[in-house]
């Protein structure tokens, strides 16, 4: 995906401004890329529509070239569809908070129940796991094993004995709805502040499964119903999510098996179609393989352009477009380029220097790369110290800096007179260059950079 996008962006980057045709060409690529990542078709259509609208009306940024602006818009829209901010668990005003899990068989509910129990316990909660999956003979055992590993108690009928009793908690009948209800009641009595109800899934969506889940929901009045979905599910994500939305309804989503090579298209499909936020990502078989879901990180994963996005952020930070425009205007109006201006430019360069490593990836930055690669950040510190040791008069008019002033500045900045001389020479060159640019009428990008 990233290769193709990168190619498209490369095609765009030489143009000054995006035309409608340019945008549409990009949109076509993004559409294809999202479909490759297994995002559902209607979600792709809506998404690309949004991006197109925004790209057409985008304000031209001083710091980014048009291609970067499109990446930025795509990314922002993606984050938006994925839920914007991270959404955290909602706890009940009066304990216990009831969290019910729903999803297909094999989605990762039981595994997630253990992880969530562990996670909550680490945060000082006292969760209770409830085994309301009585569909498969070993489902209860599986949850008990997971719970033990997590160090969290479990409420369950004794395995292999439908009328038996759990070692810790009382006898229950073999009806999942009753087990769930009794589990919540037990949590209340024993002052567990969170209850996690594991439920049964089927291989496919079916009536009976949905009715059972809805009955468990009605009996326990959960604060959160979390729909657990396998990230590898692909195009089926939409149908499955819709079925669970209609059959049980859910307040949030857990994306499981994100440790596989799924691009995460399912994330966009589910949030795009149901509007429900993703709360957690399950990323492995170990108890600790659980992450709070971050829409921005997922967006990068879907686009597979994380590094480029980071770079864009840094470029915006480093390059203050307004400042550059001010400086250009100043030079063009014939005002002199001062040492203070020079210092500002050097500081901008230093900010750029911190992104040295990634420069090769940023489209349109090729010409700056060499200058920045040869740039020594400590140099800026030295220059800064020297300029700061000058009086305001000296900064405005460096011509007055004679021998004794040079010695004083060198002492004050902890450098040598040779350093001071070199700086003044560099500054004069930069100033000359700025004057030339001003005469030529051109707008300088970053003068002083060749220095
Ligand atoms: P359930 O039927 O919804 O309860 O699903 P399970 O929790 O039993 O998980 C089904 C299978 O997927 C098991 O073999 C789990 O070990 C595995 N599994 C669950 N979550 C993850 C995950 O995040 N990553 C990986 N790699 N495997 C997982
Ligand atoms: Mg299970």
Give the CATH number of the domain where residue 142 resides. 3.40.50.300
Considering the domain architecture, whether residues 108 and 190 belong to the same structural domain is answered as yes
Using the atom order of ligand 1, give the atom closest to the CA of residue 105.
2
Name the residue of 104, 285, 290 to mutate for ligand 1: max ligand atoms within 8 A of Cβ.
285
Residues 150 and 235 in one domain: yes
Q: Which of 141, 256, 261, 291 to mutate to test the pocket of ligand 1 (most atoms within 8 A of CB)?
A: 256
Pair type for strands 252-256 and 224-230: parallel
**What is the pLDDT, as a whole number, of residue 367?**
43
Predicted pLDDT at 9: 52
- pLDDT attached to residue 62: 60
Same domain, 287 and 433: no
Task: Report which of 230, 235, 232 is spatially closest to residue 272, judged by C-alpha positions.
Answer: 235
Predicted confidence at residue 167, as pLDDT, reads 40
Give me the interface pTM, i.e. the ipTM: 0.99
User: Which residue, of 277, 293, 309, is where some domain finishes?
Assistant: 293
The residue with greater pLDDT, 309 or 181, is 181
Q: Any idea which ligand is nearest the CA of 140?
A: 2
- Give the lowest-confidence range in 25-29, 221-225, 407-411: 25-29
Q: Is 19 part of any domain?
A: yes
Is 47 domain-assigned?
A: yes
For the entire predicted model, the pTM comes to: 0.67
Helix (H) or strand (E) holding 288: none
90 annotated ligand-binding residue: no
Please indicate whether residue 83 or residue 61 has the higher confidence score (pLDDT): 83
Q: Quick count: other Cβ atoms within 10 Å of Cβ 226?
A: 27
What residue spans of 207-253 are helical by DSSP H? 207-220, 236-247
Instruction: Report the pLDDT value the prediction gives residue 309, as an integer from 0 to 100.
Output: 60
- Given this model, what pLDDT does residue 15 score? 43
Query: Is residue 298 domain-resident?
Result: no
What per-residue confidence (pLDDT) applies to 38?
84
- 64 and 103 inside one domain: no
Write b or e for each residue in 80-112: b if 16 or more Cβ atoms lie within 10 A of its Cβ, otherwise e. ebbbeeebebebbeebbbbbbbbbbeebbbbbb
For residue range 393-438, list pLDDT tens digits in order. 898 888 899 999 999 999 999 999 999 999 999 888 877 777 766 6
Percent of the chain predicted with pLDDT > 70 = 72
Report the percent of the chain where pLDDT is more than 90.
41
Sheet (strand 97-102) strand order:
154-155, 127-132, 194-199, 97-102, 224-230, 252-256, 278-282, 290-292
Q: Cα–Cα distance between 235 and 37 in angstroms, integer? A: 10
Mean pLDDT of 381-404: 90
Confidence grade of residue 220 (pLDDT, cut at 50, 70, 90): very high
- What is the pLDDT, as a whole number, of residue 380? 78
User: Does 307 reside within a domain?
Assistant: no
337 burial level (CB within 10 Å; 0-12, 13-18, 19+): buried
Asked if 250 and 281 count as a contact pair (C-beta separation under 8 A), the reply is no
108 is in an annotated binding site: yes
Per the model's pLDDT, the better-predicted residue between 136 and 406 turns out to be 406
Residues 151 and 237 in one domain: yes
Residues with CB under 6 A from ligand 1: 103, 105-111, 201, 228, 256-257, 259, 282-285, 289
pLDDT score recorded for residue 160: 47
Question: What is the Å distance from ligand 2's center to 142 Cα?
Answer: 7
Residues 112 and 234 reside in one and the same domain:
yes
Average pLDDT value for residue range 22-42: 80
126 and 272 share a domain? yes
Same domain, 19 and 110: no
Q: What is the CATH number of the domain that holds 54?
A: 1.20.120.140
Ligand 1 atom closest to residue 284's alpha carbon, by position in its atom list: 24
Q: Which residue has the higher pLDDT, 194 or 2?
A: 194
Q: What is the pLDDT of residues 100-135, one digit of tens each?
A: 999 999 999 999 999 999 999 999 999 999 999 988
Instruction: Answer yes or no: is 91 within a domain.
Output: no
What are 163-203's pLDDT values in tens digits? 444 444 433 447 899 999 999 999 999 999 999 999 998 77
Average pLDDT over residues 282-298: 90
Q: Would 303 be classed as within a structural domain?
A: no
Tell me the pLDDT band of 337, cut-offs 50, 70 and 90.
confident
Q: What is the pLDDT of residue 375?
A: 59
67 has a pLDDT exceeding 90? no
99 alpha carbon – ligand 1 mean position (Å): 18
**Residue 200 is labelled as binding a ligand:** yes
Q: Considering the domain boundaries, does residue 447 fall inside one?
A: no
Q: Is there a domain that residue 92 lies in? A: no
How far is the centre of ligand 1, averaged over its atoms, from the C-alpha of 230 (Å)? 9
Determine the pLDDT at residue 308: 57
Ligand-binding annotation for 52, yes or no, is no
Residues 153 and 271 in one domain: yes
Q: State the burial class of residue 278 (Cβ atoms within 10 Å of its Cβ: 0-12, 13-18, 19+).
A: buried
Give, using CA atoms, the residue closest to atom 19 of ligand 1: 108
Does the annotation flag 218 for ligand binding? no
Ligand 1: which of 102, 111, 143, 146 to mutate, judged by most atoms within 8 Å of the beta carbon? Answer: 111
Q: Among the three residues 36, 57, 85, which one is the final residue of a domain in this structure?
A: 85
* Cis before 282 (ω within 30): no
Q: What is the CATH number of the domain that holds 403?
A: 1.10.260.30
| Distance from residue 232's CA to the centre of ligand 2 (Å) | 17
For 171, residues 6+ apart whose C-beta sits below 8 A from its C-beta are 157, 163, 164, 165
Is residue 126 part of an annotated ligand binding site?
no
The answer on 268 and 143 residing in a single domain is: yes
Angle between helices 265-274 and 295-303 (to 10 degrees): 130
- Look up the domain containing 127 and give its range: 97-293
CA nearest to 266, candidates 113, 112, 111, 44:
44
Of 259, 293, 327, the one marking the end of a domain is: 293
Q: How far is the CA of 197 from the centre of ligand 2 (A)?
A: 11
* Residues 101 and 40 both lie in one domain: no
Total structural domains within the chain: 3
Interval 72-87 mean pLDDT:
87
Domain match, 60 and 151 both? no
């Amino acid at each position: 995906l990233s290769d193709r996008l990168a190619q498209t962006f490369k095609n765009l980057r030489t143009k000054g401004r995006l035309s409608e045709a340019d945008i549409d060409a990009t949109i076509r690529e993004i559409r294809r890329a999202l479909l490759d990542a297994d995002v559902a078709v209607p979600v792709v259509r809506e998404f690309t529509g949004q991006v197109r609208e925004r790209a057409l009306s985008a304000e031209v940024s001083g710091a980014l070239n048009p291609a970067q602006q499109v990446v930025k818009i795509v990314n922002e829209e993606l984050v938006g569809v994925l839920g914007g901010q991270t959404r955290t668990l909602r706890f009940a005003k009066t304990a216990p908070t009831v969290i019910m899990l729903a999803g297909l068989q094999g989605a990762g509910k039981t595994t997630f129940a253990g992880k969530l129990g562990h996670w909550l316990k680490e945060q000082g909660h006292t969760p209770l796991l409830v085994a309301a999956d009585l569909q498969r003979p070993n489902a209860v055992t599986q949850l008990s094993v997971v719970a033990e590993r997590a160090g969290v108690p479990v409420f369950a009928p004794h395995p292999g004995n439908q009328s038996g009793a759990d070692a810790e908690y009382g006898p229950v009948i073999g009806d999942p709805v009753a087990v769930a209800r009794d589990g919540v009641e037990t949590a209340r009595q024993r002052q567990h502040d969170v209850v996690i109800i594991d439920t049964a899934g089927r291989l496919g969506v079916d009536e009976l499964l949905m009715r059972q889940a809805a009955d468990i929901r009605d009996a326990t009045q959960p604060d959160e119903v979390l729909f657990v979905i396998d990230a590898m599910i692909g195009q089926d994500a939409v149908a499955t999510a819709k079925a669970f939305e209609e059959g049980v309804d859910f307040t949030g989503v857990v994306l499981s098996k994100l440790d596989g090579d799924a691009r995460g298209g399912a994330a966009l499909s589910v949030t795009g179609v149901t509007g429900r936020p993703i709360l957690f990502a399950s990323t492995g078989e170990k108890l600790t393989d659980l992450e709070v879901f971050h829409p921005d990180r997922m967006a990068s994963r879907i686009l597979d352009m994380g590094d480029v996005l980071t770079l864009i952020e840094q470029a915006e930070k480093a390059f203050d477009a307004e400042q550059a425009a001010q400086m250009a205007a100043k030079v063009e109006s014939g005002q002199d380029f001062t040492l203070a201006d020079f210092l500002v430019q050097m500081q901008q360069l230093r900010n750029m220097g911190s992104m040295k490593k990634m420069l090769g990836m940023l489209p349109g930055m090729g010409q700056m790369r060499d200058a920045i690669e040869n740039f020594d950040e400590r140099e800026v510190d030295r220059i800064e110290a020297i300029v700061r040791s000058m009086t305001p008069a000296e900064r405005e008019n460096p011509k007055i800096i004679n021998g004794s002033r040079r010695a004083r500045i060198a002492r004050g900045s902890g450098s040598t007179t040779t350093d001071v001389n070199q700086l003044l020479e560099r500054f004069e060159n930069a100033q000359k260059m700025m004057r030339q640019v001003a005469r030529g009428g051109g707008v300088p990008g970053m003068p002083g950079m060749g220095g």
